[in-house]
Amino acid sequence: LSMASRSEGALLGASVAAGVTVALVGWGLWHRVAFNGPPEPPRSVAGAVVSKGRRQPRKDLVVVRVGASTQYVLSTSGRPSSMRRYRAMLQDILHLDVCYLPISSEQERIDPQRFVWAVRGMNCLGGAISKDIKVSVLPFLDELDPLARSIGAVNTVCKRGDRLVGYNTDALGFEAAIKTTIGDGKLGSAVIYGYGGVVSVVVAVLKRMGVRCFITGRRRDAARQRATQLGVELFEPHKLGSAADLFVNAAPVTDASLENATNFLEALEGCRFAFDHEMPGACLEEYCRHHGIHHIPGTLMYFPQMVSQWGLFLEPLIGPKRPEELRRLIEQAEAQAKAKSALHFPFHF
């Protein structure tokens, strides 16, 4: 049986031999896969693309062990680097029968109800949500963690018995990044650029820290509407009186000239700290270096968020672990995955 699932080019193939299933995850659209013969047009079966014909081995496939009792962590996105990292952590280091599995949809976005059906119906520990359905999935969950409820969005869904519980570890990651860099009680005001889903996380964390929040963006009408929704203020330089202490970029604009992002530089000017949710965000990092602003990269949020998320997923199997233990596990897995990748695949994705 061969199945392919497309999400920005994600491909899942499963081959069954001697009672053992090996899952292969590659990076490339289904039609880029080499077949022994002319490929037949794909057909959709239960949300997956199925194509007859025998595939040639691909060098960018990630092999993971999957059997009848395997438990899954579903993800709405996934790169080969993530697959290798979590395969190393789950199967090679912890020796668990668990597979990190990116899923996708033939539609532009994953349907939140179908995502929940998949988590409920498969032998899952839970699911990781990276975008799109962090808010729309809420009505289909059984329970929300108090922090997730206050934010109104989740990025982590865990199966607890027959119930699905939603958490928001993005908030924990952002809070860790800010407190590690700046500390407590040193921020009076912050201006946030953008009005997408991550903004609700940023506002919730900063309000808990007692920080006065302002929102701006390319379109002031959209920024005003978002500010009203979240109970904060629209950024207007004359209203604040002086530059904000913290600038938070929550829009995909910092890998190009900052002058192209309307209203960006006026909000950034004079700030002491600048956090960038976009990675790598090279243009903002360079601007901060030249203007004496302390740059806080998104990676400082990424690792604490990942540690918190995997702590929730794995607690039923390995019990509660201290964050530093989980971080060491993830870093060990990252190093092991990179070493194997460099050995077998001497190129970068």
Number of Cβ within a 10 Å radius of residue 174: 27
Of 52, 134, 239, 340, which residue is the catalytic one? 134
What is the C-alpha end-to-end distance of the chain, expressed in Å? 27
CB contact set of 16 (below 8 Å; sequence gap of 6+): 1
Tell me whether residue 131 is one of the annotated catalytic residues.
Answer: no
> Among candidates 128, 4, 122, 113, which has minimal Cα distance to 76?
128
Helix (H, G, I), strand (E, B) or coil at 48: strand
Euclidean distance between CA atoms 124 and 319, whole angstroms: 17
248 φ, ψ (degrees, to nearest 5): -120, 120
Euclidean distance between CA atoms 188 and 121, whole angstroms: 47
Helix (H, G, I), strand (E, B) or coil at 347: coil
39 burial type by CB count under 10 A (0-12 exposed, 13-18 middle, 19+ buried): middle
Active-site annotation, residues: 134
